[in-house]
Structure 1
Amino acid sequence: MNKEYAVGIDIGGTHITAAIIDIVNMKVIDFSLHKESFDSNLPVKEVMSIWEKAIRISVENSKVEEIKGLAVCMPGPFDYTNGLCWIKDQSKYEHFYGLNVRYLFQGTLNLSNEFPILFENDAVCFGKGEVFKDATNLSKKVMAVTLGTGLGACFIDKGVSVSSGELVPTDGEIYNIPYKEGIAEDYVSARGLLSAYKSLTGENLNNGLELFNLAVAEDEVAVKVFEKMGEDLASVVIPWLEKFDADSFIIGGKIANASEFFLNGFHKKVKESGVEITVSVSTDNEIAALLGAASMLFTV
């Protein structure tokens, strides 16, 4: 069987992960996974140089000579067809608003206009990757969320992403659903966690990891904040689990690593609602996202 390879790229608010994917067998090539952390609010040129470094190291370590295309998972709002970034007022990618990221990749990596560079929502990539990893999901309706700098979501019916129609929210997104005093992402995200901790203690933490470490150390407020986020997550997704008639709910993203502190709150709310759903937490978010992204190259 012929081998075909793509660069799978997972871009978040604070990191880029690149790997070479065998898109025939849907697996990551050994030694090709490379990650760089960075501040996404740096000037565009500096961010692109970090992205270039991650991609080039990944390609070099894979020993693969021919790449079929780039498959990129990006957070929204983003015009995935045309490669335009519309992220604004989200404490990330402040200098990318209105820019064509496809052109930026072409210029930085010296790629031709014909070289495939495809974009998809990071949560959709994650969800598709989880479906690819577990063949039983190919016959089911799956809702997946990514919890991190922001709140991502996707709805997948028998392996196909659904982002329009009455059964899903506008564009398949839940981050901007009106919730309490703002939108869902104000409460279910790293920003929401840190804000909640500050409101209870008056203390500013630098990031979600600090809060997680406090929870591990049995800090009562930190534990309470995570549990409340779990309840908020449930309140946000329950109406859509019902509308979509989902069989399975998958949680991913960096904050999924703290599931021991928020799952009880989540399960409690779901049980109270009467919704019956299989809930799972991804153990390798990035691999799932990379596989889901690379699956776009099947049709190119």
Structure 2
Amino acid sequence: MKKKYAIGVDVGGSHISVLSMDMEKETILKNGKSCCVVDNTASAIEILNSWKDALGKSISDIGQNDLVGIGIAMPGPFDYTNGVALFTKDVNKFENLYGVNVAVELKKVLDLPDNVPIRFVNDATAFAIGDAWKGKSSNSKRTIAITLGTGLGVAFIESGIPVLERNDVPPKGCLYHLPYKDSIANDYFCTGWFVNEYAKRTGKSAHGVKEIARQTDANPELIEIFNEFGASLAEFLSLWIQRFNADCLVLGGNIARAFELFGPAFSSVLERRSIDIKIQLSNQMESSAMMGSARLMNEDFWKQIQPLLPLM
């Protein structure tokens, strides 16, 4: 019998999310999603065992004999070709996994045979792949997918395939490291920027964007934080939207949930620059990254993605 179920994984800084997909029907299995908290400062074996707990349930539900393989959306730095973690101390997560071949060690703790593939892709790219496959950008030719959270994730997608090396995209298809104002983009388009701005303006501390957004009704002056963020993000993205000739911009990540607050300023800057692009909030959010990683188990698609992994 042909195997038909794949597991898609999204590894976050403090959690692992898993879903199971029927690759023939291209649908998520009923009750096929799960999420587990992970201590990213733990030892390598403790982290692997946390991931095992999440994956083990899905494998058990599917049945190992029907498992095509496991696709994992992983943040960098990571050797996506060979499955080796390259997290260092300055990354502030999973540093005890440095040098560990995650594919090999996961197979050990999960007791999986060698012929079950475990494949990896950058997490921002996985989000973009999943949305282009089953999300709001599925009918677009050229999409820029943005994930806004602890950092800035970006992927350029043409006809469903990431573009990483071309004169109309930045090197490796990444924007987070590019200069912006007096630092780099990643320092401005992230949760940390909101928290710092909130502290400057109020003298108080906040844990995240959601907490700040809740206070805007009682304190309308806080809207200025979102206006500044939206205008700056549009200013920064404008060049790349035009250069890539994108017809769709997809936003995901926790900050994207506050689009109603920063969206007006964002759209206004694009309008002033005569940039006409469809702006979409992901309807799948984190599921897009899991679906994008599960799609690595489609062999035709994998043949197109595999040569790009060394560039991620």
Partner of 2:234: 234
Shift of residue 3 of structure 1? 5.6
The alpha carbon displacement at 1:37 in A equals 2.9
Identify if the C-alpha distance between structure 1 residues 212 and 8 changes in structure 2 by more than 3 Å, giving closer, same or farther. same
Task: Give per-residue Cα distances to partners, 1:148-202, cap 9 Å, x unaligned.
Answer: 1221111111111111121111111111111112111111111222122223233
Asked if structure 2 preserves the Cα contact closer than 8 Å seen for 1:249 and 1:277, the reply is yes
Name the counterpart of 1:21.
21
Task: Give, as a single letter, the amino acid of the residue that structure 1 aligns with 2:280.
Answer: S
2:103 and 2:118 in contact (8 A); partners too: yes
| Corresponding position of 2:97 | 96
Instruction: Please say if 1:47 is aligned against 2:47.
Output: yes
- The corresponding residue for 1:4 is 4
Q: Distance in 2 between matches of 1:202 and 1:92?
A: 29
Question: Helix, strand or coil: the match of 2:92?
Answer: coil
Alignment correspondent of 2:208: 207
Q: Please give the alpha-carbon distance, in whole angstroms, between the structure 2 residues aligned to 1:105 and 1:227.
A: 44
Percentage of matched positions with identical amino acids: 32
Number of aligned residues: 299
Amino acid of the residue matched to residue 13 of structure 2?
Answer: G
Q: Do the aligned partners of 2:210 and 2:258 also contact (CA within 8 Å) in 1?
A: no
CA distance in 1, matches of 2:291, 2:266: 28
Partners of 2:229 and 2:184 lie apart in 1 by 13
Mark the CA change 1:4 to 1:266 in structure 2 (over 3 Å): closer, same or farther: same
Contact 1:147–1:256 (Cα < 8 Å) also in 2:
yes
The equivalent of 1:82 in structure 2 is 82
Find the counterpart in structure 1 of residue 307 from structure 2: none
Alignment match, 1:281 = 281
**Is the Cα–Cα contact under 8 Å of residues 74 and 120 in structure 1 kept in the other structure?**
yes
Q: What is the CA–CA distance in structure 2 between the aligned matches of 1:272 and 1:104, rounded to whole Å?
A: 52
Distance 2:245 2:294 in 1: 27
Are residues 86 and 267 of structure 1, via their aligned partners in 2, closer, same or farther at CA, if it must alter by over 3 Å? farther
Q: CA deviation at 1:256?
A: 1.5
Quick one: structure 1 residues 80 and 260, their matched pair in 2 at CA, closer, same or farther if it must change by over 3 Å? same
| Distance change >3 Å, CA 76–CA 233, structure 1 → 2 | farther
- My pick for the range that moved more, 201-210 or 22-31, is 201-210
Matched to 1:67, the amino acid is L
Q: Which amino acid aligns with 1:120?
A: V
Question: What do you get for the CA RMSD once the two structures are aligned?
Answer: 2.3
C-alpha displacement at 1:97, in angstroms?
A: 3.7
Aligned pairs for 1:164-175 (under 5 A) are: 164-175=165-176
Write the distance in 2 (CA, Å) between the matches of 1:17 and 1:222: 32
Question: Shift in Å at residue 57 of structure 1?
Answer: 2.3
Pairwise CA distance, 1:65:
4.8
Question: What's the counterpart of residue 182 of structure 1?
Answer: 183
Distance in 2 (alpha carbons) for counterparts of 1:114 and 1:62: 17
Superposed displacement of residue 63, structure 1: 6.1
Measure, in 2, the Cα distance between the counterparts of 1:177 and 1:36: 33
